[in-house]
């Protein structure tokens, strides 16, 4: 970060996202954006089942096989709408297991947020550099400690940005397909209040 950016920082924090917290956050995300749509589809399919069940009972006998096929297809689609979010969550959480020890950083500026991953130095764990003298010893010898790398995303405050506060975390997103989780446990109560006031000023009703 350059000096101009540093002087404008309102708050900066590093954190990790525990597995259980990410699972809770992703479940909340699905409840907000996935389940409402699924409930509408399930309701429509349920009505289709009832209509064709009526036809099975009261319609012509020759058409009953077709009606039963329609009902079966609708029921299968209902099962898919119920099980698919659970499958997606399970697969995602398996992937999260591999990165739960990663470290992240949130930086709050007056006009935007910056969220990203703290990456280890490029030479860390490189087998090509293994030998009689370790990398750490070489770094100490030449006083050349490799710096950390930061891979982040800059998110400007606009009408599409949403921040939701839950009991244990903040959920930040611009699109309904991607979100960021920021645990509240790493912040002091004073820092949390700074975040709440700033988000309320910048996002108005988009912060809740």
pLDDT digits (tens, 9 = 90+) for 22-31: 899 889 888 8
Give the pLDDT confidence score for residue 132 in this predicted structure.
Answer: 55
Band of residue 138 on the pLDDT scale cut at 50, 70, 90: very low
Pair (114, 90) in one structural domain: no
Pairing of β 169-175 and β 162-165: antiparallel
pLDDT tens digits for range 43-77: 999 999 999 988 888 888 888 889 899 999 999 99
Give the pLDDT confidence score for residue 79 in this predicted structure.
Answer: 94
Pair (26, 40) in one structural domain: yes
Band of residue 153 on the pLDDT scale cut at 50, 70, 90: confident
Task: Please compute the mean of the pLDDT values over residues 1-24 and round it to a whole number.
Answer: 75
Between 55 and 144, residue with greater pLDDT: 55
* Cβ neighbours around 87 below 10 Å, total: 10
Point out the domain boundary residue: 76, 100, 124: 100
Pair (49, 66) in one structural domain: yes
Across all residues in the chain, what is the average pLDDT? 82
Of 43-52, 88-97, 133-142, 148-157, minimum mean pLDDT range: 133-142
Task: Please compute the mean of the pLDDT values over residues 95-102 and round it to a whole number.
Answer: 80
C-alpha atoms less than 13 angstroms from C-alpha of 208 in its C-beta half-sphere = 3
Nearest Cα to Cα of residue 32 among 42, 44, 24: 24
Give the pLDDT confidence score for residue 46 in this predicted structure.
Answer: 93
Give the pLDDT confidence score for residue 122 in this predicted structure.
Answer: 62
Give the pLDDT confidence score for residue 5 in this predicted structure.
Answer: 45
Point out the domain boundary residue: 100, 133, 151: 100
pTM of the model: 0.70
Structural tokens at position 167: 């009991």
pLDDT exceeds cutoff 60 at 2: no
Tell me the residue range of the domain where 27 lies: 17-100
Please say whether the beta carbons of 169 and 181 come within 8 A.
Answer: yes
CA end-to-end span of the chain: 30
Task: Please compute the mean of the pLDDT values over residues 86-105 and round it to a whole number.
Answer: 84
Structural tokens at position 182: 């920021």
CATH number of the domain where residue 123 is located: 2.30.29
Pair (118, 208) in one structural domain: yes
The number of folded domains in the chain is: 2
What distance in Å separates the CA atoms of residue 117 and residue 13, rounded to the nearest whole number?
12
Point out the domain boundary residue: 100, 133, 164: 100
Nearest Cα to Cα of residue 184 among 198, 195, 173: 195
DSSP string for residues in the chain: --HHHHHT-SEEEEE---HHHHHHHHHHHHHHHTHHHHHHHHHHHHHHHHHHHHHHHHS-GGGHHHHHHHHHHHHHHHHHHHHHHHHHHHHHHHHHHTTTT-EEEEEE-SSEEEEEEEEPPTTTT-GGG-SSS-HHHHHHHHT-PPPPEEEEEEEE--TT-EEEE-SSEEEEEEETTEEEEEESTTS-HHHHHHHHHHHHHHHGGGB-
Of 9-18, 131-140, 159-168, minimum mean pLDDT range: 131-140
Pair (2, 43) in one structural domain: no
């Amino acid at each position: 970060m350059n000096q101009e950016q540093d002087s404008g920082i309102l708050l900066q924090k590093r954190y990790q996202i525990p597995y259980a917290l990410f699972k809770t956050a992703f479940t909340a995300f699905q409840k907000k954006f996935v389940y409402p749509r699924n409930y509408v589809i399930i309701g429509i399919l349920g009505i289709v089942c009832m209509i064709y069940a009526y036809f099975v009972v009261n319609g012509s006998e020759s058409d009953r096989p077709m009606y039963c096929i329609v009902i079966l297809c609708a029921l299968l689609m209902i099962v898919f709408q119920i099980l698919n979010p659970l499958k997606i969550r399970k697969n995602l959480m398996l992937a999260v297991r591999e990165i739960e020890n990663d470290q992240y950083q949130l930086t709050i500026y007056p006009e935007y947020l910056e969220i990203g991953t703290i990456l280890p130095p490029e030479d860390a764990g490189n087998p090509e550099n293994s030998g009689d003298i370790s990398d750490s010893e070489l770094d100490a010898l030449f006083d050349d400690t490799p710096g950390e790398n930061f891979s982040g995303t800059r998110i400007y405050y606009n009408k599409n940005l949403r921040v939701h506060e839950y009991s244990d975390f903040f959920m930040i997103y611009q699109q309904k397909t991607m979100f960021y989780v920021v645990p509240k446990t790493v912040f002091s109560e004073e820092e949390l209040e700074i975040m709440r006031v700033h988000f309320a000023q910048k996002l108005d009703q988009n912060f809740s």
